[in-house]
Amino acid sequence: MTTTLPAYDEVVARYEPVIGLETHVELGTNTKMFCGCPTDFGGEPNTRVCPVCLGLPGSLPVANKAAIEATIRIGLALNCSIADWCRFARKNYFYPDMPKNYQISQYDEPLCVDGYLDVEVNGELVRIGVERVHLEEDTGKTLHVGGATGRIHGATESLVDYNRAGIPLVEIVTKPVPGTGALAPEVARAYVAELRDVIRSLGVSDVRMEEGSLRCDVNTSLNLPGEEWGTRTETKNVNSLRSVERAVRSEILRQASVLDGGGRITQETRHFQEDTGDTRPGRSKETATDYRYFPEPDLVPLAPDAAWVAELKAALPELPRLHRRRLQADWGLSDADMQSVLNAGAVELIEATVAAGATPAAARKWWLGELSRRANEAGIELADVGATPGQVAELQSLVDAGKLNDKLARTVLEGVVGGEGSPTEIMTNRGLEVVSDTGALTAAVDEAIAANPAIADKVRSGKVAAAGALVGAVMKTTRGQADAKTVRDLILERLGA
């Protein structure tokens, strides 16, 4: 179906969007939710499995205390009430990614309910209601063979790896968010970004969208002003912050086009297309999903002790939004400068570099300058660029001590990123230290003066600016390993200018 999409501004002037988000976060516990299998990423297939997570007869699950604690902390950070008593439930479905034929989840008794998260959009706070935060287990990974993959088995087989099956997964569901108008896509993005930062600050997950440890489904509906909320669609496969924004926007446009044409929105699951930025319908189910939830008989109820919950609440870190505001003040940055730090994903890196001894200005210079440039070129996250905050602070201390000039420091940084070692090691091994031996420098200066008598005369006669050419000559003979200001001072001294 090809239809011309209406203009976005025009659509949001006529329709009111309502959004909602469901986010899944894989917890960074050592072990799975209900068994002692390790959770580390990237093992050979079926090497992190046991009778419990394979659903073998006679095996019994036991809940992971660290996962319960992490979920309660997430709930508290999102201003939720923590249930004083709740249960796990079986969600029955027929698909081989769970070997038990059901997923242990929570249904009508989630661990955390009724909270909110304040997010900042264009300098304004938007409060996003949180309906619930519950705990469940992740599924295995299926690989379909044959057919489209060109394999000869035919498209009738799935190969399943259960390493991921049973990893603790926290689901965070917002209340419907009306009233954001044209900003709906940005609000959705800001919410996911803020949620990610909150969870990261708690240290309970690495929340990496590209690795799937944070996954997001986006609900969107449109209604005319004053009318009831429209039928919503659920968009899956939204794997980056940018995609969250694009998915909402494209779904608003698509639904408006359907409604304008006199059509009706079908309640369905759609899939975001990373390449085109639009959504396509998923496979339609003939009947409404019937998961036949019932309380999990193999697990006893959870009753978090009020004193424990109070203790966890008291130990929560500062919220990222407030933390950022404090850093901005400490670092003396304008809103625009802070925004570029945020956009570069450099807040924590700069913070750690400052903690390691660098000034905020120096830390910001390296992370937003040379290192951001390298990360962008390589298409990777700044945090993965290959330099640590400790190394950057060490590099800056060498500059401050006069051992490296700016050019040499860049060369050393190149070595750091290339994994050659610490800045001091690289400086020593590559012989990059600034020539501070005055005897050697004086010799180089005298040589430069002797080789450029005309320029030397000009300087002697008071044209101090001409000294620049002599400085250049000295820098050349010392292969850049001299401090330009020292060289200049020396030249002026020798020429009596």
Partner 1 sequence: MAAISREEVAHLARLSRLAVTEEELDTFAGQLDTILQAVAQVGEVAAADIPPTSHSVPLTNVLREDVVVPGLTPAEALSGAPDAEEQRFRVPRILDEDVAS
Binding stretches for partner 1 (CB under 8 A): 29-31, 35-38, 44-51, 53-54, 56, 62-68, 85, 87, 91-99, 103, 139, 143-145, 155-162, 236, 269, 271, 282-283, 285-286, 290, 292, 294-297, 299-305
For residue 378, give both structure tokens: 């390589």
Q: Where are the alpha helices (DSSP H) in 87-139?
A: none
- Residues contacting 103, CB < 8 A, separation 6+: 90, 91, 93, 136, 137, 139
Q: How many CA atoms lie within 13 A of 65 on its CB side?
A: 2
Q: Pick from Zn ion, partner 1, none: which does 145 bind, CB < 5 to 8 A by kind?
A: partner 1
Q: How far apart are CA 20 and CA 229, in angstroms?
A: 12
CB of 243 to partner 1, least distance (A): 17
Q: Which helix (H) or strand (E) covers residue 118, if one does?
A: strand 112-121
Among 50, 66, 342, 484, binds Zn ion (CB under 5 A): 50
Nearer to partner 1, 21 or 253 (CB): 21
| Largest Cα span, the chain | 98
- The token pair at 44 is 């050979």
Considering the complex, state which of residue 39 and residue 396 has its C-beta at the smaller distance from partner 1.
Answer: 39
Residue 464 near residue 495 (C-beta atoms within 8 A): no
The amino acid sitting at 427 is M
Q: How far is the CB of 312 from partner 1 (least distance, A)?
A: 15
Interaction partner, residue 263 (partner 1, Zn ion, none; CB < 5-8 Å by kind) = none
Residue 53 binds Zn ion, judged by CB under 5 A: yes
Residue 46 or 142 having the CB closest to Zn ion: 46
> What is the spatial distance between Cα 333 and Cα 329, in angstroms, rounded to a whole number?
7
Q: Does residue 252 touch Zn ion according to CB under 5 A?
A: no
CA pair distance 103, 97, nearest whole angstrom: 9
Q: Which residue has the tokens 């870190």?
A: 317
Query: In terms of CB distance, is 65 or 285 closer to Zn ion?
Result: 65
Instruction: State which residue, 53 or 111, has the beta carbon closest to Zn ion.
Output: 53
- Give the whole-angstrom CA distance, residue 61 versus residue 31: 13
For partner 1, the closer CB: 303 or 355? 303
Looking at beta carbons only, is 105 or 353 nearer to partner 1? 105
Question: Minimum Å distance from CB 77 to partner 1?
Answer: 20
Q: Which does 472 bind (CB under 5 to 8 A by kind): Zn ion, partner 1, none?
A: none
Nearest distance, CB of residue 138 and Zn ion, angstroms: 12
Q: Residue 43 gets which letter from DSSP?
A: P
Query: Phi and psi of 182, rounded to 5°?
Result: -65, -20
For Zn ion, which stretch binds (CB under 5 A), given 38-46, 48-56, 299-307, 431-439? 48-56
Tokens 């420091």 label which residue?
409
Q: How many residues bind Zn ion (CB under 5 A)?
A: 5
Q: Which is nearer to partner 1, 86 or 473 (CB)?
A: 86
- What string of DSSP letters covers 450-480? HH-HHHHHHHHTT-GGGHHHHHHHHHHHTTT
Q: Name the binder of 497 from partner 1, Zn ion, none, CB < 5-8 A by kind.
A: none
Backbone angles phi, psi at 416, to 5 degrees: -60, -50
From the list 46-54, 153-161, 284-292, 380-388, the region that binds Zn ion by CB under 5 A is: 46-54
259 interface partner picked from Zn ion, partner 1, none, CB below 5 to 8 A per type: none
Query: How far is the C-alpha of 458 from the C-alpha of 422, rounded, in Å?
Result: 44
Helix residue ranges per DSSP H, 207-359: 241-260, 306-314, 320-331, 335-343, 347-355
CA nearest to 319, candidates 207, 206, 188, 201: 201
What is the nearest approach in angstroms of Zn ion to the Cβ of residue 37? 3
- The contact mask relative to Zn ion for 15-44 (x = CB under 5 A, - = no) is --------------------x-x-------
Do β-strands 89-92 and 269-272 pair in parallel, antiparallel, or remain unpaired?
Answer: unpaired
Rounded Cα distance between 31 and 306, Å, is: 26
Of residues 264 and 285, the one with the C-beta less far from partner 1: 285
DSSP β-bridge partners for residue 217: 22
| 119/116 Cα distance (integer angstroms) | 10
Residue 175 CB, shortest distance to partner 1, in Å, is 20
- We find the least distance from the C-beta atom of residue 66 to partner 1, in angstroms, to be 4
- Answer yes or no whether residue 338 interacts with Zn ion by CB under 5 A: no
Q: What is the smallest separation between the CB atom of 321 and partner 1, expressed in angstroms?
A: 29
Partner whose footprint covers residue 303, from Zn ion, partner 1, none (CB < 5 to 8 Å by kind) = partner 1
Min dist CB 184 to partner 1, Å, is 25
Q: Which is nearer to Zn ion, 6 or 99 (CB)?
A: 99
CB of 433 to partner 1, least distance (A): 47
Residues at the site binding Zn ion, with contacts judged by CB under 5 A: 35, 37, 50, 52-53
